[in-house]
Structure 1
Amino acid sequence: MSDYQTGSPETLAFLRRRRSHPSITMAAPGPDPDQIRDLLTIATRVPDHGKLAPWRFVLYRAAEDGERIGAWLAARYETLHGPLEGDARDKELTRFTRAPLVIGVISQAADHPKIPVWEQQLSAGAVCMNLVTAAAAAGFASQWLSEWFAFDDEAARYLGARPGERFAGFVHIGTATQPPVERPRPTLDDLISNWTETD
């Protein structure tokens, strides 16, 4: 595959091979405070019609916050779905301890006279993808997840969402402990069509 125009072959090669790492395979260290600010600066360089910045970030650190959050989530899950045991309980308890850093990306999309809510939500999704890519480019393992607690109002509130906000996702960032496993990719020809006029 040739590189185009006067772009960066190294960047294109990186984007072709970028792969998410499962959060359960991550370990310390994660990014330090200066690196976090740099990653978030990069993350916000996304299309943002009207310059609304319809997103914000919440940081969760495994060492300080992870166990407390996990205990709350396990209790909330039991309230919603009944008792947890064994691996299922461990899964909830460790949601925020697998990676040393989790960054919650919150969509603040709201009604606007010119900019549809959908465009604002797409901008928050672009922030998540930029953050995942920036973390990978910086040498960290990264994964964008949502999970049930992004869609439960009470859990979202506990994790920092304000009224009218929702989580676009949680980006887990740490150090890889093993190579990522490639997954099947869609057949590109199945996804492409040329526009034709219809009546």
Structure 2
Amino acid sequence: MPAQNQPAANQPALDFLLGRRSHPARTLRGPAPDRAALAPILEAGLRVPDHGKLEPWRLIVLERAALDRLAGVAEARAEALGMAPEAAAKAISQFREAPLCIAVISAPVPSEKAPAQEQLLSAGAVALSLVNAALAAGWGAAWLTGWPAYDRGFMAEGLGLAEGESVVGFVHVGTPSGQPPERPRPDPAARVAWVSA
């Protein structure tokens, strides 16, 4: 029973958030969610704070053939940029080995009310919401970036992004091959300041 004047908690949701753990992308396997299973994850992912209701983001769902193509684009871009093979490999493999990936794109909208920074933060909220929705639905999920997320050539050639658009992250979704490893978590006492006056 909640204390007087305290709202009733959604304890299962709070327990989920307190225990959530992303899965390393390299541990995700097929099958990936099909379009019907992915629909509620996408819908939940888009329910984020959005000052001005601008929807300054969009999603690109990358299925197997698209991921193979992107691995090739990343490989060609790495060579064109003169990257050492070992520096390029991790980003290339994130596409080559992924069962499914959702590219979260920041697509800012001209606005006098919502600064560009707030719009970018809203896009970041979409990425985290997608991860949490996928985890809540029983899938494994991880939010990655890597150098392709910052390379204009990759963004244009691989994803068809317009000038002004950028990659916030690649959200990988698939079947977990085991429990994700636990890691140290932030200590609220060290990261939270209370101001009473």
User: What TM-score does the superposition give when structure 1 sets the normalisation length?
Assistant: 0.89
Which region of structure 1 is more displaced relative to structure 2, 43-52 or 7-16?
Answer: 7-16
- Correspondence list, 1:11-90, <5 A: 11-62=13-64, 64-82=65-83, 84=85, 90=89
Query: What CA distance in whole angstroms lies between the structure 1 residues aligned with 2:175 and 2:183?
Result: 20
Partner of 2:120: 121
Q: 1:81 aligns to what SS in structure 2? A: coil
Q: CA deviation at 1:93?
A: 3.8
- Correspondence list, 1:92-131, <5 A: 92-131=91-130
Query: What CA distance in whole angstroms lies between the structure 1 residues aligned with 2:10 and 2:91?
Result: 42
Distance 1:8 1:185, change over 3 A: same
1:135 aligns with 2:125: no
Query: What CA distance in whole angstroms lies between the structure 2 residues aligned with 1:196 and 1:157?
Result: 49
Q: 1:170 aligns to what SS in structure 2? A: strand
Structure 1 residue ranges (4+ consecutive) displaced by more than 4 angstroms after TM superposition:
87-90
Q: Counterpart of 2:112 in structure 1: which amino acid?
A: P
Query: What CA distance in whole angstroms lies between the structure 2 residues aligned with 1:130 and 1:92?
Result: 23
User: What TM-score does the superposition give when structure 2 sets the normalisation length?
Assistant: 0.90
Q: Is the 8 A contact 1:67 1:94 kept in 2?
A: no
Query: What CA distance in whole angstroms lies between the structure 1 residues aligned with 2:171 and 2:92?
Result: 18
Indicate the percent of aligned positions where both proteins have the same amino acid: 40
Query: What CA distance in whole angstroms lies between the structure 1 residues aligned with 2:160 and 2:40?
Result: 22
Distance 1:115 1:92, change over 3 A: closer
Q: 1:194 aligns to what SS in structure 2? A: coil
Q: CA deviation at 1:90?
A: 4.8
Partner of 1:186: 186
Q: 2:112 aligns to what SS in structure 1? A: coil
Q: CA deviation at 1:149?
A: 0.8
Cα deviation, 1:17-71, whole Å, max 9, x if unaligned, reads 1100011101011111112221111111111111100000111112x12222112
Aligned length: 193
Q: 1:135 aligns to what SS in structure 2? A: helix
Unaligned runs of 5+ in 1: none
Distance 1:151 1:88, change over 3 A: closer
Partner of 2:154: 155
What is the RMSD computed on CA atoms of the aligned residues? 2.0
Q: Counterpart of 2:15 in structure 1: which amino acid?
A: A
Unaligned runs of 5+ in 2: none
Q: CA deviation at 1:195?
A: 3.3
